[in-house]
Amino acid sequence: MKNFRLLVNSLICCSVLFSACNAAPSGFAVDQVFESQTKDVRFRVEIVATGLEVPWGFAWLPNKDLLITERPGRVRIIEKGKLRAEPVFVVPDVEPSGESGLMDISLHPEFAKNSFVYLAYAYNNEGKRVKVVRYKYVAGKFTEPKVIVAEIPGAPNHAGMRCRFGPDGKLYVTTGDSTDWTLAQKMDTLAGKTLRLNDDGTVPRDNPFLQTSGARPEIWSYGHRNAQGLAWQPGSGLMFQTEHGPSFFEGKGSGGDEVNIVESGKNYGWPEIHHTEKRDGMVSPLLEYSPACAPGSGMFYNGSAFPTFKGNFFFGCLRGARIIRVVLNGRSVVSQENLLENGFGRIREMEEGPDGYIYFATSNRDGRGTPAKDDDRIMRMVPEH
């Protein structure tokens, strides 16, 4: 198995070296005004911060300051609109290589009372692993680390991961298949899954496989390749995920990136089905993208600054170098459109800010892009009235 993974990782590296990287961001004119395809939304893009290194996750504090993870292991902070020069925290045991490192950050729903912040990152323990660690963030310091879940199989690629609290107050974690795609269908491993946990890492009593012999009780859904977007639809509470599809070396074609509605106990097919294939007992994607767009995030807009966007699903695209907006009616797709295509390069994280604007981050310094001189950047979409 070790030799198999080394071969796969070598093939991944070769595919990166010999395939075209994203071109340098062309940028747009200062104060350029953009329109939606339906011409009912007009907006500008403002630069919030520059000079970051592969920003991955956002988390707003109650005072509206923004915590940002950088993949090499740093937590940065934007205070009163300005990026502090020094990191607020550096993860001591992070292992940043390939696509992994310090990834997501989430605040506890009752952060104002308990000060809990959750970090998801890769580390070494006789090989690469992934874990989620809870800290207390008080007076500008990260203290009292507590491991929530660990020993998740990792690799330089396909390491996931998002960790977000759902409307039920439970912590959901997406994990990659760690480039061993057979693990996604195996129930005795946490690789290629969505996990559901209590805030202290214990397992909820109503998890779907709690009583299944041989299955890990943390598992909520399985058959995932590498999901990196996680958000809940306002009103319905449905979980939406974005997921990276296969690469050529896996012998299953390329493209096949997905948007899925993810539900308790269901099998999302990888590697048995992919793209738009169907099979009894497995769930095919709500949306599929070929050629690949490489979705790196997912958010629902629920603010007031863009009334037309309310309830829409958005995600940033890495290889696709754009933002995709999806208009939904419950479980059904009404329409979709591309925004800001090829203007800023690779886009990963997206979140609605406390001001109702839509924030996003570039990922042009991740080894697969051609960075502009001020990359990576945090930007926001602001309505033009």
Q: Is residue 6 part of a domain?
A: no
Q: Is residue 316 part of a domain?
A: yes
Q: Is residue 54 part of a domain?
A: yes
pLDDT at 385: 80
Between CA 50 and CA 376 the distance in angstroms is 6
Q: Is residue 12 part of a domain?
A: no
Between CA 300 and CA 287 the distance in angstroms is 16
pLDDT at 38: 85
CB 121 within 8 A of CB 166: no
pLDDT at 160: 86
**Residue indicated by tokens 């995600």:** 315
pLDDT at 250: 86
pLDDT at 156: 79
Q: Is residue 1 part of a domain?
A: no
Between CA 359 and CA 378 the distance in angstroms is 7
Q: Please give the model's pTM, rounded to 2 decimal places.
A: 0.93
Between CA 208 and CA 261 the distance in angstroms is 17
Tokens of 271: 């590697």
pLDDT at 24: 54
Q: Is residue 188 part of a domain?
A: yes
Q: Is residue 15 part of a domain?
A: no
Provide the domain limits for residue 32.
23-383
List the CATH number of the domain containing 167: 2.120.10.30
Question: Residue 244 catalytic?
Answer: no
Q: State the SS3 of the chain.
A: CHHHHHHHHHHHHHHHHHCCCCCCCCCCCCCCCEECCCCCCEEEEEEEECCCCCEEEEEECCCCCEEEEECCCEEEEEECCEECCCCCEECCCCCCCCCCCEEEEEECCCHHHHCEEEEEEEEECCCEEEEEEEEEEECCEEEEEEEEEEEEECCCCCCCCCEEECCCCCEEEECCCCCCHHHHHCCCCCCCEEEEECCCCCCCCCCCCCCCCCCCCCEEEECCCCEEEEEECCCCCCEEEEECCCCHHHCCCCCCEEEEEECCCCECCCCCCCCCCCCCCCCCCCEEECCCCCECCCEECCCCCCHHHCCCEEEEECCCCEEEEEEEECCEEEEEEEECCCCCCCEEEEEECCCCCEEEEECCCCCCCCCCCCCCCEEEEEECC
pLDDT by residue for the chain (385 residues), tens only, comes to: 444 444 444 444 444 433 445 655 556 766 799 999 888 899 999 999 999 999 999 999 999 999 999 999 999 999 999 999 999 999 999 999 888 999 999 999 999 999 999 999 999 998 889 999 999 999 999 999 999 999 999 987 888 899 999 999 999 999 999 999 999 999 999 999 999 999 999 999 999 999 999 999 999 999 999 999 999 999 999 999 999 999 888 889 899 999 999 999 999 999 999 999 999 999 999 999 999 999 999 999 999 999 999 999 999 999 999 999 999 999 999 999 999 999 999 999 999 999 999 999 999 999 999 999 999 999 999 999 8
Report the domain count for the chain. 1
Q: Is residue 9 part of a domain?
A: no
pLDDT at 28: 74
pLDDT at 97: 85
pLDDT at 21: 59
pLDDT at 15: 44
Looking at 158, 224, 274, 275, which residue is catalytic? 158
Contacts of 104 (CB under 8 A, 6+ apart): 56, 57, 69, 118, 119, 120, 161, 162, 163, 164
Nearest of 224, 223, 247 to residue 18 by alpha carbon: 247
